[in-house]
Amino acid sequence: MKEIDLNCDMGESFGVYKLGMDEQVMKHISSANIACGFHAGDPLVMDKTIKMAVKNKVGIGAHPGYPDLLGFGRRHIACSPEEIRNYLIYQVSAIKGFCHVHGAKLSHVKPHGALYLDAVEKKDIAQAIARGIMSLDPDLYFVALAGKKGDMMRRMGEELGLKVIYEAFPDRAYTPEGTLLPRKQPGAVISDPDEVAKRALDMANGFVTAVDGTKIELFVQTLCVHGDTLGAVNLVANIRKNLEANDIKVKPMGESPDHGIKTI
Amino acid sequence: MKEIDLNCDMGESFGVYKLGMDEQVMKHISSANIACGFHAGDPLVMDKTIKMAVKNKVGIGAHPGYPDLLGFGRRHIACSPEEIRNYLIYQVSAIKGFCHVHGAKLSHVKPHGALYLDAVEKKDIAQAIARGIMSLDPDLYFVALAGKKGDMMRRMGEELGLKVIYEAFPDRAYTPEGTLLPRKQPGAVISDPDEVAKRALDMANGFVTAVDGTKIELFVQTLCVHGDTLGAVNLVANIRKNLEANDIKVKPMGESPDHGIKTI
Amino acid sequence: MKEIDLNCDMGESFGVYKLGMDEQVMKHISSANIACGFHAGDPLVMDKTIKMAVKNKVGIGAHPGYPDLLGFGRRHIACSPEEIRNYLIYQVSAIKGFCHVHGAKLSHVKPHGALYLDAVEKKDIAQAIARGIMSLDPDLYFVALAGKKGDMMRRMGEELGLKVIYEAFPDRAYTPEGTLLPRKQPGAVISDPDEVAKRALDMANGFVTAVDGTKIELFVQTLCVHGDTLGAVNLVANIRKNLEANDIKVKPMGESPDHGIKTI
Amino acid sequence: MKEIDLNCDMGESFGVYKLGMDEQVMKHISSANIACGFHAGDPLVMDKTIKMAVKNKVGIGAHPGYPDLLGFGRRHIACSPEEIRNYLIYQVSAIKGFCHVHGAKLSHVKPHGALYLDAVEKKDIAQAIARGIMSLDPDLYFVALAGKKGDMMRRMGEELGLKVIYEAFPDRAYTPEGTLLPRKQPGAVISDPDEVAKRALDMANGFVTAVDGTKIELFVQTLCVHGDTLGAVNLVANIRKNLEANDIKVKPMGESPDHGIKTI
């Protein structure tokens, strides 16, 4: 029986500001990427979100970002690799502490927003992130982009000895080369719920239909889903239902036997 | 042979802003209380300061504060115990991670500035701090005020099962009741270097001369010293020299056999 | 014909975080208190909110708070009067600049959250706020608590020569002495929409019914309403409708001939 | 008699953190660029620095930067032009308010660090800054890079109708094309005090000696100097002495008749 992980960004509230339908979406996903206080999240939100993840038996990951609450970590900041490595250590350690308090284990690290995008594009940033993770705990899974575009990012993790998890986006269009269509291009984001659920199933089966209609191979271990709106939550429920109806088991990343052993 | 610890606040720089003569004072102390990014410090400063502490074989402690860089953690903020507990977990976890990266062990937690003062005065705050420490690691030493004024703060730690370290201030005047003379009163801070060194020695020997000249008992395991100026650094060197000349061994807190076993 | 102002806190979003139904409530109020970036709000939110206020012909006020985004300005911070005066100048100047950019005039200043509560209780804080306003622009209205409990706060403004606007809370219970019943006491907040609308009308007519049923005098120039939920917005619409149906004109503060001339 | 302005970044302290020898350098310069709280500075520092500038009859300018205290505004942040325009309005308004409080006039705006560098390189950023200034006050001088490399930045200001002040750096090497030698190249920064003082005089006389020894024309209205160390302060004193010994009058920008009227 095949397996796949459904991951979602969580714990992005801050103080009185609420973001995301964490309680609802937590019931349908298998892994939560939890903000660590730099681009979003605060100590109380982290505490509450981890408690919720534990209760729902969801895998817990750190979701570190640039130190930019005002820009929600979505703006590139020209940090040095040394800065990034230390920002990683700080954020991941903080959330690891909360996991310990709740008797939970931190399973993975997935960089947020501009930090993720920069890791895809820039070798020294991908490396700085991987080094930060490695120096803290070599057992942490490093979530990186599946497909050709993510080759460098994943290699930076694998070369250091990290276990890399291949991530794909069921609501995003891919080129025939297996690369994400840039967000600014028309059709880059797919909004039809049935179409997204179908693509999630395809991805779990190792392929995706590119924008030109060709069916291409794509090795995927986790699918990124969203929980910001009621519509998004329903979509996640639908994705999961469709996966399970087609004999794909939804499990936290790292629990599948082949996790972290794929080599490029 | 008697033993005492010399602790000093460290790692209080932030970005381009430098504070304290960490490199110089590190040579003379036995324990460093390292800021965790809330009232001072940042990930790079934490990394660098811990590396320095390891190199100098100095005990490493967390120095958590209120989230108030603008006020350097010196202003009371009306936080709830729940907020304080979570701020503690966040900050102590972050620094614990950096310790791990450098193969070091986090030894103690000493609250900073207004948070320390609030812990002395308010039961729920002392308790929230102690709970934060306890939930992370029951082996962490909790540095609390020696003397009558510190009774409640220390009891909150001891009741939870924490090992409490009794701290005194050789440059501060004490009342005949064994209580710190408030800073605003004349003579509250002692500036004569020889006098301070003499008082440090007295404290290591278990007593202090109060403002009225009476000699009172004071159980002390660690002495708080400062490293902000060249004068302060010289004073620390002088304190240590005087202690050692009088057969008091200067050792990191927790390494003395009686540490954490005093009961009020 | 009698007149009253309806004021509401606005512009409390921050980055991606949305708070309040500003667009909806803006149609029903006459004055907006706009956050200035310390406890909430950011430059883009300020720009957008002022544009909206101008479009809706709503009076524009600064809503300065403590520098505490994490606590939304609801936690007392032990700032010195000098700090508070300068925080006021900074925040009010920033919003005044945005008003200028939009060809609007800044009409008033109403402190936010804990800063307001501290101004009610502490003379030096009320004075520091009043001095900050005065040094920037003596024509700015200073919104302060109506009733006995607000005497000191208002006097601090009036003694400096500021024009003080008396504010009351139609959804809050008052004691027979004309003082707000503390929030923690049962019945402190009134939730029945018709009751709140009736109380708003009473206040516009210069009285309020206290918790013991006695009808007491209360000089009021502006009523504080809320816009956080759809229910709150409907309540504001209802309050306004009821006022106008009873021949009370709803106008921005400062436009009524008697504004700022009441003496205690 | 020829005239030139000496400008220096000021007010870059934050809370307990002190940076720069503001009091000493203020005696030798004619214009102060004062940080506005985003990359450095806080309301108390702004207040104090403006008071000092007024006392020393020094021209007062805003020195806005990216919202990045941790990076001291030296790291590029991928902000949108809309964000930059509003960040400018916010910061310049805040400092304008403090000027008003001290009976002073805000004279100019000079972007800080990465924001300045980005304005030199990117049209939309230069334009966003210029628009922010223009919308607040068309009489504010816009300090921009002299020489060929600064053409675009200055044009963005001039096209909007801003009065642009041409700035040069006496301690930086220039190429034969009149462009700053990038910092990373050897010889980019000149440290010999006499050499810097000589170059400042040359610049005041409208030329500079390039790295290849050729003497090139360079229209300059203000010279950027530094005040971070005692050595830097002495250098500024030396620059001024040398200028005045050679009949160049040191005056705040904007007070020279030709300020703001040069066209490219």
**Is A122 strand, coil or helix?**
coil
C97 touches chain D (CB under 8 A): yes
**D172: β partners:** D189
Which among C82, C101, C136 has the least Cβ separation from residue D100? C136
Q: Average pLDDT, stretch C15-31?
A: 97
D78 touches chain A (CB under 8 A): yes
- Residue contact A77–D79, C-beta within 8 A: no
Whether B220 shows a pLDDT value over 50: the answer reads: yes
* Alpha-carbon span B129 to B59, nearest angstrom: 20
D47 touches chain C (CB under 8 A): yes
Which residue do the tokens 């880059």 mark?
A: A188
Q: What is the mean pLDDT of chain B?
A: 95
C78 touches chain B (CB under 8 A): yes
Whether C264 shows a pLDDT value over 70: the answer reads: no
Say what the pLDDT of residue A128 is: 98
The alpha-carbon gap from B40 to the nearest alpha carbon of chain D, in Å, equals 10
Could you read off the pLDDT of D194-246 as tens digits, one per residue?
999 999 999 999 999 999 999 999 999 999 999 999 999 999 999 999 999 99
Which among D16, D42, D70 has the least Cβ separation from residue B19? D16
Which A residues in the span 2-41 are in contact with C, Cβ-Cβ below 8 Å? 14-17, 19
Q: Average pLDDT, stretch B161-179?
A: 94
Which among C67, C70, C76 has the least Cβ separation from residue B78? C76
- Chain C contact set for A69 (CB, 8 A): 14-15, 69
CA–chain centroid gap for A178, Å, is 18
Selected residue with higher pLDDT from C260 and C154: C154
Longest dimension (CA), chain B: 50
Say what the pLDDT of residue D158 is: 96
- Residue contact C90–D136, C-beta within 8 A: no
CATH class of C2-250: alpha beta
Share of chain D above pLDDT 90, in %: 92
- Chain B contact set for A37 (CB, 8 A): 90
Q: Average pLDDT, stretch A117-122?
A: 97
The alpha-carbon gap from A96 to the nearest alpha carbon of chain D, in Å, equals 24
> What DSSP string runs through chain C?
-EEEEEEEEE---BTTB--S-HHHHTTT-SEEEEE-SSSS--HHHHHHHHHHHHHTT-EEEEE---S-TTTTT-S-B---HHHHHHHHHHHHHHHHHHHHHTT--EEEE---HHHHHHHHH-HHHHHHHHHHHHHH-TTSEEEEE-SGGGHHHHHHHHHHT-EEEEEE-TTB-B-TTS-BPPTTSTT-B---HHHHHHHHHHHHTTEEE-TTS-EEE---SEEEE--SSHHHHHHHHHHHHHHHHTTEEE--TT-STTTT----
- Residue contact D70–B19, C-beta within 8 A: no
Reading the block at residue A65, the tokens are: 């970002």
| Nearest C-alpha neighbor of B156 from the set B116, B125, B126, B121 | B126
Say what the pLDDT of residue B11 is: 98
Q: Which residue of D has its CA nearest to B75?
A: D15
Reading the block at residue A263, the tokens are: 């080599």
The alpha-carbon gap from B30 to the nearest alpha carbon of chain D, in Å, equals 26
Q: Which residue of D has its CA nearest to A38?
A: D70
How sure is the predictor about D179, in pLDDT bands with cuts at 50, 70 and 90?
confident
- Residue contact C77–B75, C-beta within 8 A: yes
- Residue contact C89–D47, C-beta within 8 A: yes
* Alpha-carbon span D126 to D131, nearest angstrom: 9
* Alpha-carbon span C42 to C220, nearest angstrom: 31
Which value does ipTM take for this structure?
A: 0.95
The alpha-carbon gap from C55 to the nearest alpha carbon of chain D, in Å, equals 18
Which among B47, B82, B98 has the least Cβ separation from residue A44? B82
Could you read off the pLDDT of B78-121 as tens digits, one per residue?
999 999 999 999 999 999 999 999 999 999 999 999 999 999 99
Which residue do the tokens 């639908």 mark?
A: A238
Chain B and chain C share a number of CB contacts under 8 A equal to 29
The alpha-carbon gap from C164 to the nearest alpha carbon of chain A, in Å, equals 30
Q: What is the mean pLDDT of chain C?
A: 95
Phi-psi region of C160 (alpha: psi -120 to 50; beta: other; left: phi over 0): alpha
- Residue contact D78–A79, C-beta within 8 A: no
Whether B37 shows a pLDDT value over 70: the answer reads: yes
B169 touches chain A (CB under 8 A): no
**C54: β partners:** none
D79 touches chain A (CB under 8 A): yes
Q: Which residue of A has its CA nearest to B87?
A: A43
pTM score > 0.90 for this model? yes
Which alpha helices (H) appear in A179-219, and where do they start and end? 193-204
